Structure 1
Amino acid sequence: MSQIDRLKSKLVEFRDKRDWKQFHNPKDISQAISIESAELLEHFLWVSQEASHEVVIKNKEEISDELADIFAYLLSFSDISGIDLEEALLRKLEKNNKKYPVEKSKGHATKYDKL
């Protein structure tokens, strides 16, 4: 069993003890991911790119909590949708490797269709 599967199992156990599965559907969980992501972004609102590193240092616990919330909802979404996150990430990396070959994209933030 992978570490992701172990974490997902702990999360499902937490959810099921509270009878929350009834609230877990693709629409609501995807919205929760977006909401928690916005809460992460809120830490950096009106802060310069340079100052953003300082924000992380000063608010590490709160930012860590936001990341944990996002991760928990990602695991929940993968559980209810039957999507294997490890497999999905590896497949996406393969696609991105083709879209962004090193020789064209190294040191550039240009979108693949403009390389």
Structure 2
Amino acid sequence: MKKIEAIIRHFKLEDVKSALVSAQIEGMTVAEVRGFGRQKGHKETYRGAEYVVDFMPKVKLEIVVSDDVTDKAIQVISDAARTGNIGDGKIFVSDVEQVIRIRTGETGDEAI
């Protein structure tokens, strides 16, 4: 099993969610996060003073999938989140050792 974490733009969340559901990949956790990478923030003017906004607001999407669905999920997220501009985000993939559904006690792929 793999955990896929995707940092994406706010306005792309609904596109990514719809694309994942269409691909029959369900179950996700979403959190609002802030950070920067190559985009390095931007300058804004407020009441005549210019200041730098270092941390850009983004959305962090987390899903856990079985190994055989991992590549498909990555491709779906990447395609749906892409605008072609700097700041589109990143996808991180890591191994998941164990999953347990609290309600039923199911483990492994059955718990996903």
TM-score of the superposition, structure 1-length normalised? Answer: 0.22
TM-score of the superposition, structure 2-length normalised? Answer: 0.22
Larger radius of gyration: 1
Please identify which structure carries the higher helix content.
Answer: 1
